[in-house]
Amino acid sequence: MIPRRRDLVVTAFGARFCGRIFPCAIGRGGIGPKTGEGDGVTPAGVWRLTGVFYRPDRMPAPRTPLPLRRIGLFDKWSDDPRDPEYNRHVRAIASAFGHEALRRADPLYDLLATTDFNAPEPRRGAGSAIFVHVWRRPRYPTAGCVAFLARDLRAILTRWQGDSRLIIRP
């Protein structure tokens, strides 16, 4: 498969999108096949971005063709394979299942894009919450997501097109 200029191509050494090179961070387990929930691997493959979440109390909404959602107090992402809503956005005050809070004290999820990894019909335990989000600091490993400097992520989402793809290469 030949990437197009409007595809976001991610490797362990950085990312390329619309003729620009961006530094990025990947999972602590590197890039490769996912072996299960919590393996720290950024999944190699071709994915679509399915939507964007953002913190309206910290930043304005990005201009993007992707569906936008404000992150509220009770927004979470199910990462528990026992949960019927596994690998999906949920809104809950409390839950009997494990989840990842989208509203965080740190800025990691102030802006994030969801992917179609292990979706729309997730296989339980195959991995969840593979996001494109704000990095902690340059090249600091993620739990399996792809992360960028906030302004770079905003630039990518602003230039995203309906046929753009996220291509993650080992």
Give me the pLDDT at residue 93, please: 83
Please state, in angstroms and rounded to a whole number, the distance separating the CA atoms of residues 169 and 78.
26
Per-residue pLDDT of the chain (170 residues; tens, 9 = 90+): 788 889 999 999 999 999 999 999 999 999 999 999 999 999 999 999 999 999 999 999 999 999 999 999 999 999 999 999 999 999 988 888 989 999 999 999 999 999 999 999 999 989 999 999 999 999 899 999 999 999 999 999 999 999 999 999 99
Domains in the chain and their CATH numbers?
Answer: 8-168 (2.40.440)
Which among 168, 156, 169, 167 is positioned nearest to 66, based on CA atoms?
A: 156
